[in-house]
Amino acid sequence: MIKSVFFDVGGTILDESREFADWADWLGVPRHTFSAVFGAVIARGLGYQEVFRVFRPDFDLTAELDRRVAAGVPESFGEEDLYPDARACLTALADQGLRLGLAGNQPAHAEASLRALDLPVDVIGTSHGWGVDKPAPEFFTRVVEAGGGDASSILYVGDRPDNDARPAMAAGMPACLIRRGPWGHILDMPDVAERCLFRIGSLAELPGLVADHNAAGGRPDTGPGLR
């Protein structure tokens, strides 16, 4: 039985398209060039910060965020950056009486921005606040603790098979892989996807899948989106 559902943030509930465009503008790079390099970095299995280092070899994310703040153009997100299906999905799951959380790799400013969205979640955890990044096992230990302590009853939802689904399942949690955003469409790991409890193309599918799964007493199933 699924009692808690925790969501990755970027690429899962937040559409990062505007953020990527803002970074391209900040670096003085054509947006289509930045996007193309981003895709190539993902396809090669490299960390996302390598995208920035293609254009600025000495790039340091923390220092660059500070420069943006000093220049009056801080990185930010708001209601307009939520995927259209995110709030409705969270509301429907909350109506099922489930414990909900957000847990993703996010910088210091993100927790306040996430809280300002006033989403129907019980927990907001970030890599900055927890002091550990995905896919480290310690991050998912924190998810299990925040979700009630029983890993088998906590569903983790994310767009990345490498950073989300695989380490969540290694921690004993069932996983849901959503195919959207750069990683969801470029990073193909069939061996991971096939072991996920659900594979979906939209968060609109998730409440019904969870309800059916629990009604069936926790019988394994696979979502229709990417079957």
Which tens digit of pLDDT belongs to each residue from 81-114?
999 999 999 999 999 999 999 999 988 788 889 9
* Res 220: pLDDT: 54
Count Cβ atoms within 10 A of the Cβ of residue 97 and give its class: 0-12 exposed, 13-18 middle, 19 or more buried: exposed
Query: Mean pLDDT across the chain, nearest whole number?
Result: 92
Query: If you search the block for the tokens 């039985």, which residue do you land on?
Result: 1
Half-sphere exposure of 4 (CA within 13 A, CB side): 24
Neighbour tally for 94: CB within 10 Å: 17
Residues 37 and 140: their CA atoms lie apart, in Å, by 30
Strand partners, 144: none
How would residue 15 be classed by pLDDT, with cut points 50, 70 and 90? Answer: very high
What domains sit in the chain, N to C, each tagged with a CATH number? Answer: 4-15+79-215 (3.40.50.1000), 17-70 (no CATH)
Interval 68-87: pLDDT, tens: 889 998 888 899 999 999 99
Segment 41-48 mean pLDDT? 86
* Res 178: pLDDT: 97
Most confident of 51-65, 83-97, 184-198: 83-97
DSSP string computed for 131-175:
T--TTSHHHHHHHHHHTTS-GGGEEEEES-IIIIIHHHHHTT--E
Return the structure tokens found at 100: 């909900």
Q: What is the pTM of this model?
A: 0.90
